[in-house]
Structure 1
């Protein structure tokens, strides 16, 4: 069962609606909003990345900087700063880029992609948006003398560490894994469990792996995402927020006090994510400044001018 979450209006008429499921937890973990199917397992996609980074830290990955830890939790755009930190992780452990078992890609950022094409640069797994977490996992493998060539295998010690970490939120010890777009196993969670996992990131003890990942993401939201990304826009606007987008309409995050949210848009539409997350931030803060209000009300254009809005359905929060 899904709920109407985000509406698109044009010239005063509701043109379409994005349906999905959403949960909001208070700092004690109680549900203050639950819409749709919040207890049905989903594939969180890249919203699992902060906990994959936590698992890499627990397994022996030692980042050379907070920037490297941020890139380990990133869905980056292949911009120069992103590649710099991915390559720094690999170089420090003597690992060749070819060891990244993600699909070879060109940068997701349009400008960098055009420059790569103009330079006749071949696709590389380092450009792929998930290469930061792959690099961190490979580094953990190198530290432990685990085989590099099989780190995608669900039975590999690195992937078992990820499964163990996410099982802390009620996930199964032997879950029905999926395969993410980058080739790594993906652990299913319910939206309620996903929100709880983000609450843990912001409430964990100082210097713990969880707190370290949260701090790195807050300090370097550009590295977690890239130019124009939803994560960057929201974390740059809301102090203390840690959030992460995932493919196919998933978004999760937690505010500084431990209030946490997670939602999934049924149709996978990315345009619905930012206004809904910004509306959750407005609810949490009890007010909205100009920048946050702009994120919560995205423009619909007609003839180059604004004629409508993409926004959370009024009254649902």
Structure 2
């Protein structure tokens, strides 16, 4: 059963709450806080992307730099730098936008979206396009078909599923289909947090560590202007984290402290205050920036009339 995690207080009144489940792990993998359903599988959505990128590296994907590896893990906002990285990867392997099998979309970031309205949605703008471009590249390297790579029986997807099961320790089960059309593996929050801890503490130059370091080095590439991951990792340079749709977030510090949570209603406004409260509970060095992010404003007109914050005492 989920619990109250985040509250919205307006003009002194508790306007609403966001319920969910979360787990925090010590460096040895011991849970230090468990709230709600942390052992029941959920769909991690894009929080799976770092593990999918590990499978690509293991199968010969060879990014030219860490920015290109980061875009392979991204839920990007479709801004010009994001699109440029995806296009660079496609061009190197001789593909155009139409080779991507993710659905067409508009950029998420409002200025990029406005600029794209004149010519319509495109596959390259879709937030998962970097991952799809990297999958096409991996197919070329291995001589696998570059059409139908979404299919669960494609050799690339069989490898991705096996990798996620290995990294999470999750029992093999029925798969779902993610928003971009790819298979998605159900994972419990506890096993998701342990997988992120394993990536953060893996041996240098291992695929796991390469992915964690690329995300940590390029938080803007994996998200975008004012994105939750960008703001959180800029405030906490040692952190490696990744959001997923519908209120999922997971992350880890270099010593193996890790977290994962799921907001039941998937509301984005609950993310940053809850992540910051978790980081405080994990003992990071707290700064004014952390304090500001932990108490997101509720506005009434141009005035601050309330706050979005973790429920007081929930992590004590």
TM-score of the two chains, using structure 1 as the length reference: 0.97
Q: Equivalent residue of 1:126, what SS?
A: helix
Shift of 1:250: 0.6
Q: Deviations over 1:185-220 (max 9, x none)?
A: 111100001101110111000001111011110111
Identify the match of residue 204 of structure 2 among 203, 206, 220: 206
Aligned pairs for 1:214-225 within 5 A? 214-225=212-223
Counterpart in the other structure of 2:82: 82
- Which runs of no fewer than 5 residues in structure 2 stay unpaired? none
Q: In structure 1, how many angstroms separate the alpha carbons of the residues matched to 2:215 and 2:47?
A: 13
Counterpart in the other structure of 1:281: 279
Q: In structure 2, how many angstroms separate the alpha carbons of the residues matched to 1:49 and 1:97?
A: 20
TM-score of the two chains, using structure 2 as the length reference: 0.97
CA contact (8 A) 1:130 1:182 kept: yes
Is the counterpart of residue 122 in structure 1 residue 130 in structure 2? no
Is the counterpart of residue 19 in structure 1 residue 26 in structure 2? no
Q: Equivalent residue of 1:176, what SS?
A: coil
Shift of 1:282: 1.6
Is the counterpart of residue 105 in structure 1 residue 100 in structure 2? no
Shift of 1:108: 1.1
Counterpart in the other structure of 1:52: 52
Q: Deviations over 1:275-310 (max 9, x none)?
A: 000111122235521101111110111232111111
Counterpart in the other structure of 1:172: 171
Q: Equivalent residue of 2:193, what SS?
A: helix
When the two chains are superposed, the root-mean-square deviation of aligned CA atoms in Å is: 1.0
Q: In structure 2, how many angstroms separate the alpha carbons of the residues matched to 1:144 and 1:96?
A: 19
Counterpart in the other structure of 2:42: 42
Q: In structure 2, how many angstroms separate the alpha carbons of the residues matched to 1:26 and 1:65?
A: 32
Counterpart in the other structure of 2:69: 69
Counterpart in the other structure of 1:296: 294
CA contact (8 A) 1:64 1:89 kept: no
CA contact (8 A) 1:106 1:123 kept: yes
Q: In structure 2, how many angstroms separate the alpha carbons of the residues matched to 1:84 and 1:61?
A: 19
Is the counterpart of residue 134 in structure 1 residue 157 in structure 2? no
Counterpart in the other structure of 2:153: 155
